[in-house]
Amino acid sequence: MTSIQTNITTGNTPPIRLIIHGGAGTISRSRLTPEHEQAYRQVLEQSLVAGHTVLKAGGSSVDAVIAAIVVMEDSPLFNAGKGAVFSHEGRNELDASIMEGATRMAGAVAAVTTIRNPILAAHAVMTKSSHVMLIGQGAETFATEQGLEIVDPSYFHTEFRWNQLQKAIAKNRVLLDHDSNSDTQLPSIDEKRGTVGAVALDRYGNLAAGTSTGGLTNKRYGRVGDSPIIGAGTYADNRSVAVSATGTGEMFIRAAAAFNTAAQVRLLHTPIAEAADNTLAEIAAIGGDGGLIVLDAKGNYTMRFNTEGMYRGMIGSDGIAQVSIFREVETPGSDPSAAMP
């Protein structure tokens, strides 16, 4: 049985569900100490509980996505918000986006450096402006005017990310934060964190999706990846699915990863796991890898990745948080990339 047929609530209570990811990459037991694994599991669980609390109380899927992502942005463990990687110039340049499945309203920010929680800024763009995407200082001015918490850029300074940058500069390489195969000298704790994202279904049957990231270590030239691009890193449409992506951003943009997945479901009624796999196969064909979390308006969900592992979790109507990191343990069945039953 694949993940997509499980946990559908029947009866009087409409299903609520939240799926999250914290990045996909070369994540294996041999590279992660038990202490680090426990730390990740704890934050993922906190994120799930935060989002579930919103849904359980009758909150919207958008608010649940925000609640879940804020927890991961505020943790130094993930490459988003507090734990963001450094650009070549030693800055933390953050990107985020959010989309609402009922209205297909969307908001995004890119290359912001002083907004504590970029997902809140993306939400403000969606709800308080007539625009979808604001970037750089303009986005920061807007966030300030909207009363969002502005921090000194030093807030985003973490020692291990800084060291990660120095090593990347020394090797003249741009690193995907969870890419460690290519550089085994980097301490494992540094390389196994990624973009964060969430998709949620509220009791009103509305979907939402959101994604937040610090991008690539040692990135230059104002590089923007897929996370703030509606259609690439994030998409939500009640008529099909909500999707959040993580991986090699350039290939996810070129494949319009999130919309691509939604389009297959909407136009061909492709099962969601198959749609996600098709998208990941297209991305693999152009040299990329990563993962997708997908949720439909009935509560069917899937978490697919073509990397070693993906930080991820699911919580449904029963309120029991399920967290996974590696591939091998959670997939005893016939479907190795179906992350969780």
**Closest C-alpha among 271, 338, 260 to residue 302:** 338
Rounded to whole angstroms, the Cα distance separating 82 from 91 reads 12
Shortest separation between residue 114's beta carbon and a second copy, angstroms: 13
Can residue 220 be called a binding residue for a second copy (CB under 8 A)? Answer: yes
Shortest separation between residue 14's beta carbon and a second copy, angstroms: 25
Rounded to whole angstroms, the Cα distance separating 111 from 237 reads 26
Residue 320 Cα distances to 50, 134, 149, 316, angstroms: 12, 37, 31, 7
Active-site annotation holds for 10: no
| Residues 271-310 within binding reach of a second copy (CB under 8 A) | 286
**Closest C-alpha among 63, 142, 64, 62 to residue 110:** 142
Pairing type for strands 106-112 and 133-135 reads parallel
Please report where in the chains the tokens 């085994």 appear, as a residue: 184
Tell me which stretch binds a second copy (CB under 8 A): 24-32, 106-114, 154-162, 294-302. Answer: 106-114
Rounded to whole angstroms, the Cα distance separating 132 from 127 reads 9
Shortest separation between residue 31's beta carbon and a second copy, angstroms: 25
Which of 159, 267, 332, 334 contacts a second copy by CB under 8 A? 267
Can residue 235 be called a binding residue for a second copy (CB under 8 A)? Answer: yes
Tally the residues of the chain.
341
Tell me which stretch binds a second copy (CB under 8 A): 23-31, 194-202, 203-211, 251-259. Answer: 251-259
Can residue 238 be called a binding residue for a second copy (CB under 8 A)? Answer: no
| Residues 156-175 within binding reach of a second copy (CB under 8 A) | 174
**Closest C-alpha among 130, 125, 92, 127 to residue 111:** 92
Contact by Cβ (8 Å): 199, 236: yes
**Closest C-alpha among 211, 232, 240, 259 to residue 300:** 240
Which residue in 195, 246, 248, 261 is the catalytic one?
195
Shortest separation between residue 126's beta carbon and a second copy, angstroms: 10
Neighbours of 186 (CB within 10 A): 20
Shortest separation between residue 236's beta carbon and a second copy, angstroms: 10
Burial class of residue 254 (count of CB atoms within 10 Å of its CB; 0-12, 13-18, 19+):
middle
Shortest separation between residue 275's beta carbon and a second copy, angstroms: 11
Can residue 254 be called a binding residue for a second copy (CB under 8 A)? Answer: yes
| Residue number with CB closer to a second copy (23 or 225) | 225
What is the token pair recorded at 212? Answer: 């937040």
Tell me which stretch binds a second copy (CB under 8 A): 18-26, 62-70, 162-170, 226-234. Answer: 226-234
| Residues 108-147 within binding reach of a second copy (CB under 8 A) | 110-111, 129-139, 141-142
- The footprint of a second copy on this chain (CB under 8 A) covers a number of residues equal to 46
Shortest separation between residue 263's beta carbon and a second copy, angstroms: 4
Residue 329 Cα distances to 324, 336, 340, angstroms: 9, 10, 10
Can residue 230 be called a binding residue for a second copy (CB under 8 A)? Answer: yes
Contact by Cβ (8 Å): 40, 164: no
Can residue 334 be called a binding residue for a second copy (CB under 8 A)? Answer: no
| Residue number with CB closer to a second copy (119 or 224) | 224
| Residue number with CB closer to a second copy (49 or 108) | 108
Can residue 181 be called a binding residue for a second copy (CB under 8 A)? Answer: no
Site residues, a second copy (CB under 8 A): 99, 103-106, 110-111, 129-139, 141-142, 174, 219-225, 229-232, 235, 249-250, 253-256, 259-260, 263-264, 267-268, 286
Active site amino acids = 195
